[in-house]
Amino acid sequence: MVSKFFTSLVSLAAVLGANASLTRRVACPDGRHTATNAACCALFPLRDDLQANLFDGGKCNAEAHESLRLTFHDAIAISPALEAQGKFGGGGADGSITIFSHIETGFHPNIGLDEVVEKQRPFLQRHNIGVADFIQFAGALGASNCAGAPQLSAFVGRKDATRPAPDGLVPEPFHTPDQIFARIADASSGEFDEILTVWLLTAHTIAAANDVDPTVPGSPFDSTPEIFDSQFFLETQLKGTAFTGRGPVQGEVQSPLRGEFRLQSDFAIARDQRTACEWQSFVNNQTKVQQMFQFVFHDLSILGQNIDDLVDCTEVIPIPRPLTTRTHFPAGMSDRDIEQACLETPFPTLPTDPGPRTGVAPV
């Protein structure tokens, strides 16, 4: 899988290079932009509207986080295994979560997503774009506001859903690694193995929980939820010492920092012998954080769609600001606090933030 990835990276680079020199840009009707394809023109005003009015002037805010989460919950709802049993398996990245929000946001793993769906809906209504394309675009754009993020791909031309996805296809934080690996492999027809599942979970570097324990909304998964860095991979390997919120709730385990929320699924995949070394390898490797998430988001965002029918409008997504921080142990912590799970490679040597032990604030 990994070597296939690098081969496709090389050929992708070749194609991009060839396109850049051969393709003539078209002028958009707004008179202000040019694009490689006229189909991308509608995305410029949508981008500016979302940046100004959903993402608070281009911030990595809670709506940016929720918009990225929504891309996953729309796309992952597809199951060749159900189809093989003669049942409808969902359409993947087909917009069904928004089109049939009255059904799908009622599914247990989609708890809380009704909010972002309704916040996004007015933008969808005042711009000329399909629902499936809109969801993936908003997620890629929201992530671009987080320093350190890769430029995520944006395509248009997806077919919108005509029926809701069935329940039971979105992973839950109380599922075992086996259950999660099996579900993600099924959704991707085997492409996303357990290693690529780790790559997908990079998204949790700009994330918080609102509804797993509703008494502590906005509890982040790492100490830097506005930065697309590798702190999440480091902090999930620290020893858990206390529950954030009202105590153990289903899908939660103890976290190492006051106010930080730890999902049982992240905890378990960080320590599973199939994935622990891959998890650790992201710590302090920003190139890897960016490249691997960029790669898996591309494929996630088109699940159930035919790439040959889509137009690549990634150029509309701003290049995110680079990281200006270094991977570090939170104040008062060091490698003594690491619960070493990878047996092959020692944990990287990293600096500790100055000052006394602190907690993290809700986002």
Q: Active-site positions?
A: 73
| Binding of ligand HEM by 135 (CB under 6 A) | no
48 annotated to a ligand binding site: no
CA triple 237-275-149, angle to 5 deg: 70
Distance CA 3, CA 248 (A): 41
Q: Which is nearer to ligand HEM, 35 or 117 (CB)?
A: 117
User: Of the candidates 55, 72, 155, 295, which one interacts with ligand HEM according to CB under 6 A?
Assistant: 72
| Binding of ligand NAG by 349 (CB under 6 A) | no
Q: Which is nearest to 148 in space by CA: 319, 349, 361?
A: 319
Asked if residue 148 lies in contact with residue 227, where contact means CB atoms within 8 angstroms, the answer is yes
Distance CA 151, CA 160 (A): 24
Partner in contact with 211, chosen from ligand NAG, ligand HEM, none, beta carbon below 5 to 8 Å by kind:
ligand HEM
Rounded to 5 degrees, φ, ψ at 206 are: -125, 60
User: Of the candidates 212, 283, 303, 341, which one interacts with ligand HEM according to CB under 6 A?
Assistant: 212
**Which 3 state secondary structure label does DSSP give 208?**
strand
Partner in contact with 112, chosen from ligand HEM, ligand NAG, none, beta carbon below 5 to 8 Å by kind:
ligand HEM
| Binding of ligand HEM by 171 (CB under 6 A) | yes
What Rg do the C-alpha atoms of the chain give, in angstroms? Answer: 20
Asked if residue 289 lies in contact with residue 209, where contact means CB atoms within 8 angstroms, the answer is no
345 annotated to a ligand binding site: no
Residues in the chain: 363
CA triple 29-32-33, angle to 5 deg: 80
94 annotated to a ligand binding site: yes
Partner in contact with 157, chosen from ligand NAG, ligand HEM, none, beta carbon below 5 to 8 Å by kind:
none
Asked if residue 86 lies in contact with residue 160, where contact means CB atoms within 8 angstroms, the answer is no
| Binding of ligand NAG by 288 (CB under 6 A) | yes
- If you ran DSSP here, which 8-state letter would residue 35 be given? E
Binding to ligand HEM, residues 222-251 (CB under 6 A): 251
Q: Which is nearer to ligand HEM, 27 or 361 (CB)?
A: 361
Q: Judged by CB under 6 A, which stretch of 8-16, 172-180, 280-288, 352-360 contacts ligand HEM?
A: 172-180
Q: Which residues are annotated as a binding site for Ca(2+)?
A: 74, 92, 94, 96, 205, 222, 224, 229
Q: Which residues bind ligand HEM (CB under 6 A)?
A: 62, 65-66, 68-69, 71-72, 112, 171-173, 180, 200-201, 203-204, 206-212, 251, 263, 265
